[in-house]
Structure 1
Amino acid sequence: MYSLYTDAATQPQSGLSAGGILLIHDHQQTQTSLPLQATTNHLAEFEVATLAFTRLAHTLGAQCATTTVLFYTDSLLVSQSVAKRYAKHYQSEVDALLSAQRPFQLVLTQWVPEKQNQGAHTLANQALHAREDFK
């Protein structure tokens, strides 16, 4: 079983976004910070979640078929959209995320408050600050 935490950070004035991914398996953490293409926070939340599942599927290969992922997000939009398999203004992003989750045996999505998602939150903010400094 894998626990996957994602978060995104966006600077509205510049349109820069970054994401943080925290993966926990067998008491070991893997932390990833990455720049995102999205220019709004909602889009960035979907993008980082989709990237996280895509990367995990690539790493696990055929093992995905027997893998359960506990997915934690502090984005209510992402959590509710995945549960409903629908989002009025973000359907293509919902479809991409669901497609990235499809290889796994089971994905349980859980909304968590930001304070319970500090690992991914910190990674996203570090990546965003690095992008702003580089710019």
Structure 2
Amino acid sequence: MIEVYTDGAARGNPGPAGVGIYIKAQGNKYEYSFSLDTTLSNHEAEFIAVIKALEICREQFPDEILSFRSDSKIVVDVIEADFTKNNVFQPLLNEIREKADPFPFFFIKWIPEKQNKHADELARKAI
């Protein structure tokens, strides 16, 4: 099982944004920071962090069980319910569905911010 910690950040809300991804896999640790070239809300950045992490996992850990963790209740609730009325979040949810589909299992769990500090630092570094 691959453990994936994701976080998104925006300076201003909306504003310049970045995502951080911290992965624990097979005894190794991987860190990723991505600057997003557009003005986004913090929530949008959080969704994009999950999308970017799924893309990384598809390349590096295909066919693995994925256990994601996020400190964004909105992201976790939307993904767990597999539903949103929010017109901004809907295409992001659709992309997460598409990118998660090839994996045998994809789980996401909410964690407190203090347990997600590593991904948070990577997201802030990306801004």
TM-score of the aligned structures, taking structure 1 as reference length: 0.86
Q: What is the letter of the counterpart of residue 86 of structure 1?
A: F
Q: Cα offset for 1:26?
A: 1.9
> How far, CA to CA, are the matches of 1:14 and 1:26 in structure 2?
37
User: SS in structure 1 opposite 2:74?
Assistant: helix
- Contact 2:54/2:100, CA 8 A, preserved across alignment: yes
Kindly indicate which of the two structures has a greater share of residues assigned to helix: 1
Q: What is the letter of the counterpart of residue 19 of structure 2?
A: G
CA 1:78–1:13: 2 relative to 1, 3 Å:
closer
Asked if residue 82 in structure 1 is aligned to residue 76 in structure 2, the reply is: no
Runs of 4+ in 1 over 3 A off after TM superposition: none
Query: Who is 2:108 aligned against?
Result: 109
> How far, CA to CA, are the matches of 2:14 and 2:65 in structure 1?
37
**What is the identity percentage for the equivalent residue pairs of Structure 1 and Structure 2?**
27
Query: Who is 1:92 aligned against?
Result: 91
How many residues were matched structurally?
Answer: 124
Query: Who is 1:133 aligned against?
Result: none
User: SS in structure 2 opposite 1:50?
Assistant: helix
Query: Who is 2:16 aligned against?
Result: 16
User: Following superposition of structure 1 onto structure 2, how do residues 28-43 of structure 1 map, counting pairs within 5 Å?
Assistant: 28-36=28-36, 37=38, 39-43=40-44
Gaps of 5+ in 2: none
Please tell me the root mean square deviation across aligned C-alpha atoms, in Å. Answer: 1.4
TM-score of the aligned structures, taking structure 2 as reference length: 0.91
